[in-house]
C-alpha cells in the first residue's frame, strides 16, 4: 500500500510541475559557454585554471571507487548545540554533493563517461534513499540548503545525457521538488539562513524550469539585499556574530562577523550568477540588487585586506575568524574589479568552499 501511494504521488507530482516558460531557456550556474571557457583555459594551460584542474581531475579519478552511503532520515543538531556531532553527520552529504559536482565537471570537460556515470550513481543513491527530515533538530533544514546545490547543479548539467534514463531523471526531479524544496529556509529568518534558502530555491527553479519559483527567489533576493546590506556595504545581520549561542553579544561579540558575512556572500554569489545567467539584471549599474551586493563586496574586500579596520578587531585581540573565506571573490571580481580583492585572490588561490559550490577558482578565476 505504501509503495503504491508513493508511486501515485510521484506521477502526480511530475504531472503538476510548472510548465517551463517559453521565452526563457533556463540556465544552470555553469552555462555551456562558461564550460567552453574552462576547457580552453585548461587546453592553454592558463593560470589559475590549470592548477585547480589537476587537483579536481585527481579527485574525480579517486572518487570513482568511493562507496556512496546516503541516509534515509535527515537529523542534524544545531552547530552550537553539538559541533562535533553536527560536523560528523553532515560529512556524508557534503562530500557526496561536492563529488557529484566534481564528477560532472570532469565529464563535461573531458567527455569521459565514467565520470558521468559516477555522478548519476550519487544522484540516484540520495534521491532514492532520503525520505524524511527531522524538524525538531535545529540545523536539519539549513544543512540541506547548504549542501544540496552540488547535487542539483550536477543533475541540471546531466539532464540531456542520454544514458541517464528518463525514469531516473524524473525521480531526481521528484526528490528536489518534494524532499529538498520544502526544507528551503528563505523565510522567515532574515539572516544567512534566508540567503541559503534563496540559493536552494533559485538553483531548483532553473533545474525544474519553474518560472514562478524563480520569480519568488528573485523577489526574496531583492528584499534580502535591501534589509541585510546597509548604505556602507555592511551586512548588518552578521557583523556582530559571536562564537557561541550569545549570538550577537558577550566577550566574543563580532569574532565571527567576517566569517558569517563571507558565508552569506558566498550564497549571494551563486544566486547572483544563476540569475544573471537567466536574464535577470544583476551586474549593470541600474540593478538595485547588484548595487547592494557590490557595496558589500567592496566592504568585505576592505576588511579582508586590512582586518584591523574591522570594528571588532581590537575587542577580539585580532583573532577574527573566516578571513580567508573569500572564494566568492572569484565570481564578483570579474564584474566589479577591486584591487584589494585581486590581491587576496592571488594570495589565497586556489579558493574553494564546502557549502554551496566548490572550486570557484576553476570555474570563474581569471
Average pLDDT, the chain: 93
Q: Where residue 14 falls among pLDDT bands split at 50, 70, 90?
A: very low
Query: 14 or 326, which is more confident?
Result: 326
β-bridge mates for residue 133, sequence order = 74
Contact present, 42 and 52 (Cβ < 8 Å): no
pLDDT at 231: 96
d(CA 190, CA 288): 18
Residue 275, CA distances (Å) to 127, 158, 195, 261, 362 in order: 26, 20, 14, 21, 20
Q: How large is the average pLDDT for residues 245-251?
A: 90
Q: Is the pLDDT of residue 315 over 50?
A: yes
The grid coordinates listed for 85 are 556531532
Q: Where residue 302 falls among pLDDT bands split at 50, 70, 90?
A: very high
Q: How large is the average pLDDT for residues 155-181?
A: 97
Q: Is the pLDDT of residue 223 over 60?
A: yes
**Directed axis angle between helix 83-110 and helix 49-63, to 10°?**
110
Q: Is the pLDDT of residue 23 over 80?
A: no
Q: How large is the average pLDDT for residues 283-292?
A: 96
Q: How large is the average pLDDT for residues 285-306?
A: 97
Contact present, 263 and 325 (Cβ < 8 Å): yes
Q: What is the pTM of this model?
A: 0.92
The grid coordinates listed for 320 are 577574527
pLDDT at 7: 42
Query: 6 or 69, which is more confident?
Result: 69
Nearest partner of 268 among 229, 303, 242, judged by Cα: 229
Length of the chain: 366
Residue 80, helix vs strand vs coil: coil
pLDDT at 117: 98
Q: Is the pLDDT of residue 1 over 50?
A: no
d(CA 135, CA 191): 19
Q: Is the pLDDT of residue 10 over 70?
A: no
Which domains can be identified in the chain, with CATH numbers? 31-183 (1.50.10.100), 188-366 (1.50.10.100)
pLDDT at 5: 40
Q: How large is the average pLDDT for residues 90-102?
A: 97
pLDDT at 24: 81
Task: List, as one string, the DSSP characters of 209-262.
Answer: T-HHHHHHHHHHHHHHHHHHB-TTS-BTTTTT--SSSSTT-STTTTTTHHHHHH
- Phi, psi (rounded to 5 degrees) for 19: -70, 130
Contact present, 63 and 103 (Cβ < 8 Å): yes
Instruction: Report the number of secondary-structure helices (H) and strands (E) in the chain.
Output: 15, 2
Q: Is the pLDDT of residue 355 over 90?
A: yes
Q: Which residues contact 343 (CB under 8 A, 6 or more apart)?
A: 305
Q: Is the pLDDT of residue 164 over 60?
A: yes
Contact present, 151 and 190 (Cβ < 8 Å): no
pLDDT at 321: 97
Amino acid at each position: 500500500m505504501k509503495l503504491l501511494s508513493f508511486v501515485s504521488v510521484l506521477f502526480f507530482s511530475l504531472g503538476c510541475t510548472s510548465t517551463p516558460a517559453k521565452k526563457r531557456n533556463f540556465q544552470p550556474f555553469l552555462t555551456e559557454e562558461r564550460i567552453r571557457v574552462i576547457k580552453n583555459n585548461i587546453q592553454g594551460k592558463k593560470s589559475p585554471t590549470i592548477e585547480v584542474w589537476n587537483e579536481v581531475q585527481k579527485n574525480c579519478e579517486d572518487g570513482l571507487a568511493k562507496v556512496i552511503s546516503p541516509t534515509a532520515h535527515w537529523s542534524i543538531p544545531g552547530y552550537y548545540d553539538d559541533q562535533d556531532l553536527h560536523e560528523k553527520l553532515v560529512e556524508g552529504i557534503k562530500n557526496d554533493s561536492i563529488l557529484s559536482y566534481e564528477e560532472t565537471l570532469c565529464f563535461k570537460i573531458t567527455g569521459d563517461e565514467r565520470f558521468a556515470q559516477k555522478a548519476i550513481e550519487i544522484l540516484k543513491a540520495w534521491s532514492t534513499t532520503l525520505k524524511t527530515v527531522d524538524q525538531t533538530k535545529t540545523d536539519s533544514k539549513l544543512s540541506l540548503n547548504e549542501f544540496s546545490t552540488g547535487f542539483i547543479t550536477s543533475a541540471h548539467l546531466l539532464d540531456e545525457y542520454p544514458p541517464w534514463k528518463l525514469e531516473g531523471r524524473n525521480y531526481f526531479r521528484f526528490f528536489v521538488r518534494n524532499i529538498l524544496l520544502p526544507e528551503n529556509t528563505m523565510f522567515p529568518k532574515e539572516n544567512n539562513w534566508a540567503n541559503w534558502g534563496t540559493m536552494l530555491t533559485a538553483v531548483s527553479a532553473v533545474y525544474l524550469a519553474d518560472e514562478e519559483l524563480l520569480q519568488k527567489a528573485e523577489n526574496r533576493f531583492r528584499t534580502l539585499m535591501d534589509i541585510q546590506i546597509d548604505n556602507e556595504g555592511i551586512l548588518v545581520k552578521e557583523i556582530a556574530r559571536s562564537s557561541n549561542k550569545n549570538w550577537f553579544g558577550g566577550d566574543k561579540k563580532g569574532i565571527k562577523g567576517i566569517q558569517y558575512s563571507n558565508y552569506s556572500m558566498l550564497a549571494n554569489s551563486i544566486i547572483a550568477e544563476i540569475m544573471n545567467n537567466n536574464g535577470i539584471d544583476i551586474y549593470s549599474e541600474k540593478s538595485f540588487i547588484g548595487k547592494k551586493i557590490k557595496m558589500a563586496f567592496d566592504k568585505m574586500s576592505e576588511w579582508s585586506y586590512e582586518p584591523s579596520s574591522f570594528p571588532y578587531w581590537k575587542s577580539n585581540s585580532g583573532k577574527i575568524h573566516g578571513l580567508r573565506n573569500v572564494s566568492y571573490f572569484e565570481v564578483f571580481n570579474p564584474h566589479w574589479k577591486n584591487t584589494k580583492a585581486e590581491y587576496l585572490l592571488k594570495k589565497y588561490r586556489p579558493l574553494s568552499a564546502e557549502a554551496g559550490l566548490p572550486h570557484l577558482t576553476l570555474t570563474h578565476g581569471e
